[in-house]
Homo-oligomer: A and B are copies of this chain.
Amino acid sequence: MTTTVTSSASRSTAVTGAAQASRDGVVVLAHGGGGELMSRLIGDHVLKQLGNPLLDALTDGAILECPSARIVLTTDSFVVQPLEFPGGDIGRIAVCGTVNDLAVMGGKPLGLSLGLILEEGFPLSRLDRILASVRSAANEAGVHVVTGDTKVIERGTGAGMFINTAGVAALDERIRVGFDRIREGDVLLVNGTLGDHGMAVMSVRNGLEFQTPIVSDAAPLAGMIFALADAGVDVRFMRDATRGGLAGVLADVVERSGLTAMIEESCLPVRPEVRAAAEMLGFDVLSIANEGKALFIVPQEQADRALQVLRADRRGRDARRIGRMCGGSPAIVELRTASGGSRVVQRPYGEELPRIC
> Taking beta carbons and an 8 Å cutoff, which residues of A are in contact with B?
2-7, 9-11, 13-15, 17-18, 29-39, 58-66, 68-79, 100-102, 104-105, 107, 110-111, 113-117, 146-154, 156-159, 162, 164, 166-169, 171, 239-240, 242-244, 248, 252, 278-279, 282-287, 289, 343, 345-355
Contact = CB atoms under 8 A, between A and B. Distances in A.
Nearest to A245: B34
A351 B117 contact: no
Ranked nearest first, the 6 interchain pairs of A and B with the lowest CB-CB distance are A33-B350, A34-B243, A14-B349, A61-B74, A166-B166, A35-B350
A164 B36 CA distance: 23
A282 B167 CA distance: 40
B117 A73 contact: no
A162 B66 contact: no
A70 to B, nearest CB: 6
Nearest to A244: B34
Contact of A77 (B17, B39, B71, B164): B164
A279 B6 CA distance: 8
Chain A contact residues, majority secondary structure: mixed
A147 B73 CA distance: 7
A353 B69 CA distance: 42
A348 B8 CA distance: 10
Contact of A11 (B36, B73, B349): B349
Given A60-B105, A74-B60, A37 B349 contact: yes
Contacts of A285: 3
A278 B2 CA distance: 9
Given A2-B282, A32-B350, A60-B100, 15 more contacts: A3-B285, A9-B282, A10-B282, A10-B283, A10-B287, A34-B243, A35-B349, A60-B74, A61-B101, A61-B169, A64-B70, A66-B68, A75-B114, A77-B115, A115-B166
A161 to B, nearest CB: 11
B76 A71 contact: no
Given A63-B71, A347-B36, A284 B354 contact: no
**Residue among A79, A107, A351 with the highest chain B CB neighbour number at 10 A:** A351
Contacts of A68: 66
B101 A60 contact: yes
Contacts of A33: 243-244, 348-354
Contacts of A167: 61
A244 B37 CA distance: 11
